[in-house]
Amino acid sequence: MLSYRHSFHAGNFADVLKHLVLIKILEHLRKKDNAFSCIDTHSGPGDYVLTGDYASKNKEFENGITQLWQLTDLPEDLNTYVKLIKKFNNTDSLLRYPGSPLIIQQFLRSKDHLSLYELHSTEIELLKTSVNRDRRIQAFHADGLSSAINLLPPKQHRGLVFIDPSYEIKSDYDLVTQSLIKMHKRFATGIYALWYPVIDRKRNQQLEHALKTSGLKNIQLVELGIKEDSPEHGMTSSGMIVINPPWTLAADMQKTLPWLSKTLGVDGAGSYRIETLVAE
């Protein structure tokens, strides 16, 4: 049974990096006139009320979006990100945070398409309400990893598969690698963006090794840390692994992550990584 609810974590430092990278990919896809298709394999409920019971329990957003909200001299890509979050808030106060489905929705043109998957029975109902009968979007109550493969390649032959598991089950680390290999076989030119937490660094090293030896090419990793790795600290860093990234992604992150790691790092312990795991 699934117990994870993303509402506890909405807008935290991991969401900042995850959604920053997501926006860079969507901007890239929109540069061409041709239609694109997105698949969000782990959608969550879509929309988060930061004053609600779940989000306000640990207030994780306070070391995330809140730190950026009032600043006027942000690096350019963070400015774009904060502006987008502001669109979901009618006042100057930060009350609401959009999840990946609503962020992707903002970039869809009438010809583009978004498929959403969510397995949790409460979250899928909230998700359907969040995307509010948009004819460009379909939301499925199903396992995103196994179902998404059946949609590939998309008829548009351009697009993104966004994979954001909660890693509740340790085997998820192996499962994502296997799924990426299968998906890539069917749609080799697609962009794949995988989120990961750093809780136990050994697992991340295994994941990176599995991808490096998978035969997949053109893999970029970007990571943001707020504390030093430690088994007692919970999630200390998190990152995105992007296959077939926009060619400017590494350079763009180089302009943003040094600043972001300094700003969000706890007691000066911020860090970042920008690495090519496998070249083109």
Ligand X SMILES: C[S@@+](CC[C@H](N)C(=O)[O-])C[C@H]1O[C@@H](n2cnc3c(N)ncnc32)[C@H](O)[C@@H]1O
Residues that bind ligand X (CB under 6 A): 2, 4, 6, 18, 41-44, 99-100, 117-120, 123, 143-145, 164-166
Q: At its nearest, how many Å lie between ligand X and the CB of residue 280?
A: 27
Q: Are 248 and 187 in contact (CB under 8 A)?
A: no
Looking at the chain, which runs of residues are DSSP E strands?
A: 37-40, 47-49, 96-98, 113-117, 137-140, 159-163, 191-198, 219-225, 237-243, 271-278
Which one, 144 or 159, has the nearer CB to ligand X? 144
Q: At its nearest, how many Å lie between ligand X and the CB of residue 45?
A: 7
In angstroms, rounded to a whole number, what is the distance separating the alpha carbons of residues 168 and 3? 8
In angstroms, rounded to a whole number, what is the distance separating the alpha carbons of residues 47 and 66? 17
DSSP 8-state class, residue 152 = -
Q: At its nearest, how many Å lie between ligand X and the CB of residue 40?
A: 6
Q: Are 277 and 239 in contact (CB under 8 A)?
A: no
State the residue number with the nearest CB to ligand X: 99
The two beta strands, 219-225 and 113-117, are unpaired
Token reading at 8: 């506890």
Is 164 catalytic? The answer is yes
Which one, 141 or 258, has the nearer CB to ligand X? 141
Q: Are 236 and 277 in contact (CB under 8 A)?
A: no
Q: Which entry of 112, 164, 172, 252 is annotated as an active-site residue?
A: 164
Which one, 215 or 234, has the nearer CB to ligand X? 234
Which one, 38 or 74, has the nearer CB to ligand X? 38
Q: At its nearest, how many Å lie between ligand X and the CB of residue 145?
A: 6
**In this structure, how many other beta carbons lie within 10 angstroms of the beta carbon of residue 5?**
16
Classify 265 as helix, strand or coil.
Answer: coil
**In this structure, how many other beta carbons lie within 10 angstroms of the beta carbon of residue 92?**
8
Which one, 117 or 187, has the nearer CB to ligand X? 117
Q: At its nearest, how many Å lie between ligand X and the CB of residue 212?
A: 24
Which one, 42 or 227, has the nearer CB to ligand X? 42
**For residue 115, with 0-12 CB atoms within 10 Å meaning exposed, 13-18 middle and 19 or more buried, which class applies?**
buried
Q: At its nearest, how many Å lie between ligand X and the CB of residue 103?
A: 8
Catalytic residues: 164
